[in-house]
Amino acid sequence: MRPTVYNVNFLKFQDKPSCGSQRFNSLRSTMTIASNTNGNSTTTNVVTISNKTAFIACGILLMLLVAVFWEWFRRQVSWASHEPSDWGHTLIIPFVSGYFVWMKRDFILAKPLRPAWSGAIIIVVGVAWYMVCNVGPAGLAHHNIRSTGLGITLIGLGILLLGWRGMEYVWFPLFYMLIFAQTISERFMNLVTYRMQDISAKGAYVFLNLIGIQTDHVGNVLTIFRDGEPVQLNVAEACSGMRMLVAFLALGVAMAYVSLPKLWQQIMLVALGIPISIFVNVLRVASLGILGMFDQNFMSGEFHHMIGLIWLLPAFFSYLGARWVLSQFIIEVDETKAQSNAS
């Protein structure tokens, strides 16, 4: 007698084409049991899971995830809420990442999904690492280090539910969320912030003198003269533009992934986020200096943050312009190739 062989295909959506696209009505788990005693026989049992049941199951898993990592989520939401001009974008990133997955839904569900139990092992590793960060050495009790435990757990959850084939289309959205949906601590930010402060101060110094405003520059302090009276502007860490740079890198990666087909275009657009954010931040510091000539209260407090938010608009439109230029360039190149091939 040959041993019974189990061939399991899980989580297949029944689909019905509608208007050129697929609509998935129910979730199906298919188990095929092939046995051989006196002859060959094959039986197939199909278990249909409604969308409602699938959504309820996903909701329960989501609640469990939030419960286990509650302290991390609480800190992240608190920082983003108290510093919206710096880290408010971290609250939007998970929805952007979810949209990336939604874009790939037809590819993910094109074949039956095969959940992999190896994902459960990865989940255990992620939760264990998070617990070690909470109760272990003080050096591990760090927001960004704790986030690695959350990231490992999410990866394991994806592998457990979707299998390795389904995860092929989820890797990018997942890592995008893990990188940009968290506040970067001052310890890591300071590695770049001081250099950004220096660039912003020197750039504003050059710009103000070019437009005829007498300005001196010593370190990160600008001294602006109005009718012979000095007005000092300290380009502090908040004026370095580092947080604007992080937000623009997140925006650039999202725009590149959604709207540009070629890898070199995507790399170029993300890279352009660096000079655009630096240039706009120089203009922001210079505008604060000009306003400070009339009232020094303009250079601090809530008005200071409001100026930063206002300058995000021209920065955003500059980024859109860069994306448009890159997309037009590739069209022209493709047309040139088509004409040369035709001739």
- The secondary structure of 41-86 as a DSSP string is EEEEEEEEEEHHHHHHHHHHHHHHHHHHTHHHHHHHHHHHHH-HHH
How far is Cα 164 from Cα 183, in angstroms, rounded to an integer?
29
The residue from 163, 183, 203 where one domain ends is 183
Same domain, 111 and 252: no
Q: What is the pLDDT of residues 204-244, one digit of tens each?
A: 889 988 988 888 888 778 888 877 778 888 776 556 667 77
Same domain, 150 and 9: no
Same domain, 30 and 70: no
Same domain, 107 and 134: yes
Give pLDDT, residue 181. Answer: 92
The residue from 153, 183, 213 where one domain ends is 183
How far is Cα 190 from Cα 294, in angstroms, rounded to an integer?
32
pLDDT band at 15 (very low <50, low <70, confident <90, very high): very low
Q: What is the mean pLDDT of residues 153-163?
A: 90
Position 88 pLDDT exceeds 80: yes
- Answer with the residue of higher pLDDT: 99 or 2: 99
Same domain, 227 and 325: yes
Q: 69, 150 in Cβ contact below 8 A?
A: yes
Same domain, 219 and 337: yes
Same domain, 236 and 327: yes
Give pLDDT, residue 311. Answer: 83
How far is Cα 295 from Cα 302, in angstroms, rounded to an integer?
14
Residue 312 structural domain? 187-342
Q: What is the mean pLDDT of residues 328-335?
A: 58
Cross-strand partners of 44: 32
> Which is it for strands 221-226 and 215-218: parallel, antiparallel or unpaired?
antiparallel
The structure's pTM equals 0.72
Q: 196, 89 in Cβ contact below 8 A?
A: no
pLDDT, mean over the chain: 78
How far is Cα 90 from Cα 279, in angstroms, rounded to an integer?
23
Question: What does the DSSP 8-state code read for residue 137?
Answer: -
Helix (H) or strand (E) holding 17: strand 5-18
Residue 141: which of 83, 75, 87 has the closest Cα? 75
Q: What percent of the chain has pLDDT over 70?
A: 76
Same domain, 68 and 129: yes
Same domain, 80 and 44: no
Q: What is the pLDDT of residues 286-317, one digit of tens each?
A: 888 888 787 777 666 666 677 777 888 888 89
Same domain, 140 and 250: no
Position 73 pLDDT exceeds 90: yes
Same domain, 9 and 111: no
Position 24 pLDDT exceeds 50: no
Name the residue type at position 313.
L
Q: 266, 273 in Cβ contact below 8 A?
A: no
pLDDT band at 98 (very low <50, low <70, confident <90, very high): very high
Displacement of CA 166 from its chain's centroid (Å): 20
The residue from 156, 183, 210 where one domain ends is 183
Domain count, the chain: 3
Same domain, 170 and 212: no
